[in-house]
Chain A
Amino acid sequence: MSPLFLFLSFVALLSALGVVLAKNPVHSVLFLILTFFTLSGHYLLLNAQFLAAVNIIVYAGAIMVLFLFVIMFLNLNEETEPHKPALAKIAAAIAGGSLLLILVAALRNVSPAGYDAASFDSQIGMVDRLGLVLFKEYALPFELASILLLAAMVGSVMLGKRETGERNF
């Protein structure tokens, strides 16, 4: 394990804990963004540059901005945060704890399998390889997903269009 990997994992765990433990929702969102950055760092260590960049653009750059928007508009503060009943807290702690236990138990003795250091292709995460796989083997799902996204974008433009007779400020 390289020191960089250990450092990234340490920051990832710390910031993930920060997301849950921070009292202020805005701080939680910022910790979540930091978590995404460390995940991108892990992708870079795996030589997956495209995935790292897209993770930053889509998650840190777009989705988290929306999270931040909503939280800032709702004006959630430490004072206005509703307090859940004790029973709900205990139930959530037990459910989360048992999930953690099962995950740790399941992954405890796992060793990375199915890769051969001699024949391993280090360029597998590069954008041109990814493009070839997407357009050759998964062309139909890829195109369907792109049509879905385009339809969502056109829909948002349609919603924003001014209707006839609407007041023009």
Chain B
Amino acid sequence: MTLPALGWQGLVVLATFGISLLIATYCTYAERVIAAFLQDRVGPDRAGPFGLLQPLADAVKLFTKEEFFPAGANRALFVFGPCLAMVTALMSSAVIPFGNFLQFGDTIIHLQGIEINVGMLYVFGIVSLGVYGIMIGGWASNNKFSLLGAIRAASQNISYEIAMGLALIAVLMMSGTLSLREITLQQSVAGEWHFWNIAKQPLGFIIFIVCAFAETNRTPFDLPECETELIGGYHTEYSSMKMGLYLFAEYINVFVASAVMSVLYFGGFNFPFQYELRDWLVSSRGLELVTAQNIITILGLVGLFAKIFGFIFFFMWVRWTLPRFRYDQLMRLGWTILIPLAIFNIMLTGGLITFGVIK
């Protein structure tokens, strides 16, 4: 790879980073607007037009609040916890293919931060590290309730990681690759009637989305922080922007989980009739193939973000609709229902592949 191309790729990485932060910022706004919509309220409308500056006002509020350290807290780790939560949340969006490629002359820009052939394992590894931010923060607070909250959160995350991994195996059995870009490209083949993975893996998708809710600590699985019943969980002692970082990391996780689900099950940057549209642009509109391909790539990028926003809306819709699980119900669902279901799904997929029903 020559240096100019590497420079472009660096820009893509920066853009991914910025977009993750921007989307997470406006998730806080969207959450309030959707909550207001579902509860028939007005919602934020004071700061700026339609309350669009609300996230900014929140940030100013969080930054200017008192920075508080509890007595006997491990100061270094107390600061390190939220930082780690934020870093691990931001790292996972690096491998997500947001679009195919743009071509200008000889320069080809892949709309993906880094392409590695173990992309899915990378996401999985980063997700499994997210637990540390919670555990370290809870422990360093020197508060029994924080520690119990942290342990509760960590057990939940670890338990649901297993079912998530098993649901994923069924997808990998069909795709035969761990690269997210390859998995996306396989879901649409030119000149062929081809379905997205959701049509072949409905059960796997349901398991995966339930686990994604648990991994991102969203309702109905927000036991790690349910402030109404179990105080604040692991971030009881946190104030100011350190608290803000924990909450912010949750929204980034929601974004990444939505992106991963769109890529794995909903065709990623593919959209129906893209090859027909490209050929039509070339034959009827007289565009060059490269230009037509670039237009398709940009439409695919928009399509992927539409899917991601759809999932983010779903996350919020569920939050304001369903009540919270009890902790024993949560653990029972994870271990005695989702894991056996996921193993059954693997066997089913294996059988269907063997008999050539799906490929």
Q: Does B354 contact A (CB under 8 A)?
A: no
Contact indicator A127/B158 (Cβ below 8 Å): no
Contact indicator B132/A160 (Cβ below 8 Å): no
Number of B residues with CB within 8 Å of any CB on chain A: 33
Q: Does B174 contact A (CB under 8 A)?
A: no
Contact indicator A160/B125 (Cβ below 8 Å): no
Contact indicator A157/B339 (Cβ below 8 Å): yes
Summarize A's interface: helix, strand, loop or mixed. helix
Q: Does A161 contact B (CB under 8 A)?
A: yes
Give chain A nearest CB distance to B275 CB in angstroms. Answer: 27
The CA-CA distance from A57 to B326 in the complex, in Å, is: 28
From B74, B122, B132, B331, contact of A53 by CB (8 A): B122
The CA-CA distance from A62 to B116 in the complex, in Å, is: 23
Contact indicator A157/B335 (Cβ below 8 Å): yes
Chain A interface size, under 10 / 10 to 19 / 20 to 34 / 35 or more: 20 to 34
Q: Does B136 contact A (CB under 8 A)?
A: yes
Give chain B nearest CB distance to A110 CB in angstroms. Answer: 30
Residues of A within 8 A of B128 (CB): 56-57, 60-62, 65
Contact indicator A156/B335 (Cβ below 8 Å): yes
Q: Which residues 6-51 in A have Cβ within 8 Å of B in the complex?
A: 24, 26, 30, 33, 49-50
Contact indicator B340/A157 (Cβ below 8 Å): yes
Contact indicator B162/A153 (Cβ below 8 Å): yes
Q: Does A83 contact B (CB under 8 A)?
A: no
Q: A65-B158, A160-B335 are in contact. Are A33 and B132 (CB under 8 A)?
A: yes
From A56, A128, A156, contact of B129 by CB (8 A): A56
Contact indicator B118/A53 (Cβ below 8 Å): yes
Q: Mark B74-111, 1 if CB is under 8 A from A, else 0.
A: 10010000000000000000000000000000000000
The CA-CA distance from A56 to B132 in the complex, in Å, is: 13
The CA-CA distance from A161 to B335 in the complex, in Å, is: 9
The CA-CA distance from A26 to B139 in the complex, in Å, is: 9
Q: Does A94 contact B (CB under 8 A)?
A: no
The CA-CA distance from A73 to B151 in the complex, in Å, is: 9
Residues of B within 8 A of A128 (CB): 117, 177
Residues of A within 8 A of B139 (CB): 26, 68, 72
Q: Does A136 contact B (CB under 8 A)?
A: no
Contact indicator B124/A57 (Cβ below 8 Å): yes
From B125, B129, B135, B343, contact of A68 by CB (8 A): B135
Residues of B within 8 A of A52 (CB): 118
The CA-CA distance from A35 to B111 in the complex, in Å, is: 33
Contact indicator B121/A53 (Cβ below 8 Å): yes
Q: A157-B336, A160-B336 are in contact. Are A53 and B158 (CB under 8 A)?
A: no
Residues of B within 8 A of A61 (CB): 125, 128-129, 131
Q: Does B328 contact A (CB under 8 A)?
A: yes
From B74, B151, B335, contact of A69 by CB (8 A): B151
The CA-CA distance from A7 to B39 in the complex, in Å, is: 55
Residues of A within 8 A of B343 (CB): 150
The CA-CA distance from A128 to B117 in the complex, in Å, is: 9
From A49, A72, A153, A162, contact of B151 by CB (8 A): A72
From A30, A57, A127, A157, contact of B125 by CB (8 A): A57
The CA-CA distance from A60 to B77 in the complex, in Å, is: 18
Q: A26-B139, A153-B162, A162-B332 are in contact. Are A65 and B154 (CB under 8 A)?
A: yes
Residues of B within 8 A of A69 (CB): 151, 154
Q: A33-B132, A56-B125, A69-B154 are in contact. Are A169 and B326 (CB under 8 A)?
A: yes
Q: A65-B131, A160-B331, A169-B326 are in contact. Are A54 and B339 (CB under 8 A)?
A: no
**For residue B130, which residue of chain A has the nearest CB?**
A61
Q: Does A4 contact B (CB under 8 A)?
A: no
Contact indicator A54/B158 (Cβ below 8 Å): no
Contact indicator B116/A49 (Cβ below 8 Å): yes
Give chain B nearest CB distance to A91 CB in angstroms. Answer: 33
Contact indicator A30/B136 (Cβ below 8 Å): yes
Question: 9 A-B pairs, CB-CB below 8 angstroms?
Answer: A49-B116, A53-B118, A54-B121, A65-B131, A68-B132, A128-B177, A153-B162, A160-B332, A160-B335
User: Closest 7 CB pairs between A and B?
Assistant: A61-B128, A53-B121, A56-B125, A57-B125, A53-B118, A49-B118, A157-B335
7 new A-B contacts, CB < 8 A, other than A53-B121, A65-B135, A160-B336, are A33-B132, A53-B122, A57-B121, A57-B128, A65-B132, A72-B150, A161-B336
